[in-house]
A and B are shown apart, each in its own frame.
Chain A
Amino acid sequence: MVQHRSRSFILEEKSASYDETLDQSALPNLNSNWVYNKGAWFIHIIIILIVKTLFSIIPKVSSETSWTLTNLSYMLGSFVMFHWVKGVPFDFNSGAYDNLTLWEQIDNGAQFTPAKKYLTAVPIGLFLLSTHYTHYDAFTFLVNFTFLIIVLIAKLPQLHKVRLFGINRL
């Protein structure tokens, strides 16, 4: 399933075979189309607000901690949903998307589409907001920033169908 590129740590998924392209085009990809549905963008903000409120109302939790926790939950959640889980949960395309993450399925792998731009802007905005409202010490800042960078790297067009160090290859 995976193509090795001259012993480097960059492992690339093979491009789709004839059968795969056939199955992929048999039905629209219902797994990734929802990113353009009504409210699919707004729900991110609502979820972030809910998560932030939940963390804030816990007694004795400082604003730094609640922002860090909000940041981490959103980054982790979106990383798992968009960049870790592969394939389609239902049998729509006879497994033709089994090797692709949701991010790679969105817009049939096209880059810099509106949905992808929005989904990149949200974590950046969330991080900037959180640094603004808090006085992070070096450690918490680093934790927040690292998670943001991991999420952003996964979204880069250069990493389309690429499995760095073979992570999440199988």
Chain B
Amino acid sequence: MSLKNVNYVESGISMTLKARCWRLRAFMTKHHRNKEFKMDNTAYPALNELFVFLNTTLTNISIFYSRIPGSGILLKYIKNSHQNDPFRTVLEVMLLVFGIIYLYKNKYRTDNSFIELTPKEIEDLVEEWQPDPLLPKITEEQKRELDKVPIINGSTGPRVKLMNGKTVMNLGNFDFLGFSINEHLKEKAIETLRHYGVGSCGPPGFYGTIDVHTEFERTLSEFLGTEGTILYSQGFSTIGSAIPSFCKRGDIIVADEGCNFAIQKGIQISRSSIKWYKHNDMKDLEKILQKIKDEDIETGRRLTRRFIVTEGIFENYGDISPLPKLIELKKKFKYRLILDETFSIGTLGKRGAGLTDYFDVNPQEVDMIVGSMCHALHSSGGFCSGSFEITDYQRISGPAYVFSAALPAMLAVCATESLLHLSRNPYLPATILSNTKSFKNALSHVKYIKVEGSLDSPIFHLRLNDDVIKVDSSDEKDKLLQEIVDEAMNNGILLTRAKYLRSQEIFDVEPSIRICITASFTKKEIEKAASTIKNVVNKVLKNKIR
């Protein structure tokens, strides 16, 4: 077989591969049969043999291939796709190989949290499981705590009768306006109870709303000077529902470190990214707002909803937010302001309309005024007041509004009546103010304790003065404060320590005694109470000096 012959075979490009194979086979067998297997070029017999071997192998492979059913179609496909461009074919083959490898890979998980258990392991775990007791055993500390809880015989009010028959002055009562002893309110409540029954029998969206609810909403809007109000049925969950109905993941909340537990929970549920500023520190707030603005420019991130959340009177500190400065900052940096007026409603301002009244600010400058009727209004439930858009949006998106039963009619009527009563008696907030001032003035010279909070705030805390008292751990402080509370009770004054769920508070709060000054007492009574507390404090803390 000459090289020429080989070339002849090679040059048959125009023939189909199959036809070529057949021809080659015929050619080879003929030469085999005639035993004319001699090379022209005898100088490289080994090379020639290699050519022959290669050719025969290739031929055999193509013969074998042509016998596979359907091989013709594939061949035709490749030939069509090939289009005289081997590079293209190579790419396509690589693509096909990639596809096949991908299809044959085994599934795997990317989240490491999932642990696959064998049936035996599952059975073992079920066997091992012991149910927790429905009521966990109380610890010694809890027992001590429970023993110290005073039990009131009868209804609560400015003066309460204890189980041991003693009548004491109640300074732990949130009833700032003294509505708990108001006979008119009681009559109204009973009247409503007879007319409407006890419960509301459904969430506000499903037959729960009745005329008294809308009446309260209207009265409160008028009282505060806002466009609209939405009535919630629990005070605590109001802010925890109002915040997450507007703030979602990715939104930014800038909040005061001193915010109360309800606000902390509301912010946590909203899943927004949260930045805390130092308690009532407007410089720090401005710094943080500026930092967020700089980050916006630096990263070019999407603009999301932004809120500043703070309290009117801080439950944990008893000081007042500087509202004008907050409004200035919120306008400068384009934020919305959520103000929790739980303790300031009914107590601050000339009319008792809260922080906006106190600073004489237009209430429509504050985007959401959230508050509760549990305290000064001496009823139950909460409200969120603001523009129509803000309040109406919560009627379908506020979880506590949508999913819980509406406020009982008598409580709504009580709240409305309290508001009306407050507007008819504008001297009440002024009485609270003067009582607070005289109480604080009387206590200001006690060196063992610090009287915290603003002079105008009727709720404030007595905290141990660390410069003078040598007690370090908060447990020890709690014990000392409890001693003061007990001693005060012996002297006819009911006080309470501020109690926290410490494991869930985001920031540590110093142990304290929380005092609420109400309008039910005369100046003389208040001064007497202050001097009693002063004596008790001096007596208990005298031996604990550094």
**Given the complex of chains A and B, what is the CA–CA distance between A148 and B249 in angstroms?**
34
Distance between Cα atoms of A86 and B317 in the complex (Å): 43
The proximity string for B residues 106-119 relative to A, scoring 1 for CB distances below 8 Å and 0 otherwise, is 11111101000000
Closest chain A CB from B30 CB (angstroms)? 38
B302 contacts A by Cβ under 8 Å: yes
What chain A residues lie within 8 Å of B103 (beta carbons)?
A: 117, 121
Question: Which residue of B is nearest A132, CB measured?
Answer: B81
B105 contacts A by Cβ under 8 Å: yes
Interface of A, helix, strand, loop or mixed by DSSP: helix
Instruction: Tally chain B residues at the interface, Cβ within 8 Å.
Output: 29
List of A residues within 8 angstroms of B99 by Cβ: 120-121, 124-125
Instruction: Check if B77 is an interface residue, CB within 8 A of chain A.
Output: yes
Per-position contact with A for B518-532: 1 when CB-CB < 8 Å, else 0? 000000000000000
Q: Are A132 and B80 in contact (CB under 8 A)?
A: yes
Check B96 for interface membership: any CB of A closer than 8 A.
yes
**Inter-subunit contact A131/B92 (CB<8 Å):** yes
Of all chain B residues, which has the CB nearest A112? B105
Q: Does A160 contact B (CB under 8 A)?
A: yes
Cβ-defined contact, A124 with B95, below 8 A: yes
What's the least CB distance linking B275 to chain A, in Å? 15
Q: Give the CA-CA distance A117 to B110 in the complex, in Å.
A: 16
Question: Nearest CB to that of A135 among chain B residues?
Answer: B83
Which of B110, B113, B299 meets A110, CB within 8 Å?
Answer: B110
Contact of B107 among A95, A111, A124, A161 (CB under 8 A): A111
Q: Measured between alpha carbons, how far is A96 from B111 in the docked complex, in Å?
A: 15
Q: Is B8's CB within 8 Å of the partner chain A?
A: no
CB interface residues, B 216-250, toward A, < 8 Å = 248-250
Interface contact B108-A112, CB-CB below 8 Å? yes
- CA of A72 to CA of B211, assembled, Å: 61
> Closest Cβ of chain B: how far from A124's Cβ, in Å?
5
Residues 87-123 of chain A, each 1 if its beta carbon lies under 8 Å from chain B, else 0: 0000100111010000000001111110001001100
For residue A41, CB closer than 8 A to chain B, the reply is no
CB distance from B292 to the nearest CB of A (A): 15
- Cβ of A147 < 8 Å from any Cβ of B? no
Taken together as a complex, chains A and B put the C-alpha atoms of A111 and B107 apart, in Å, by 6
Given A98-B250, A135-B83, A170-B300, check contact A109 B98 (CB 8 Å): no
Give 20 pairs: A residue, B residue, CB < 8 Å, sorted on A. A19-B271, A96-B249, A108-B110, A109-B110, A110-B109, A111-B105, A111-B108, A112-B106, A112-B108, A117-B103, A120-B99, A128-B81, A128-B96, A131-B81, A141-B88, A148-B95, A152-B98, A170-B299, A170-B300, A170-B301
| Known contacts A111-B107, A132-B80; 10 further A-B pairs (Cβ under 8 A) | A98-B249, A110-B108, A112-B105, A121-B102, A121-B103, A148-B95, A157-B110, A161-B110, A170-B299, A170-B300
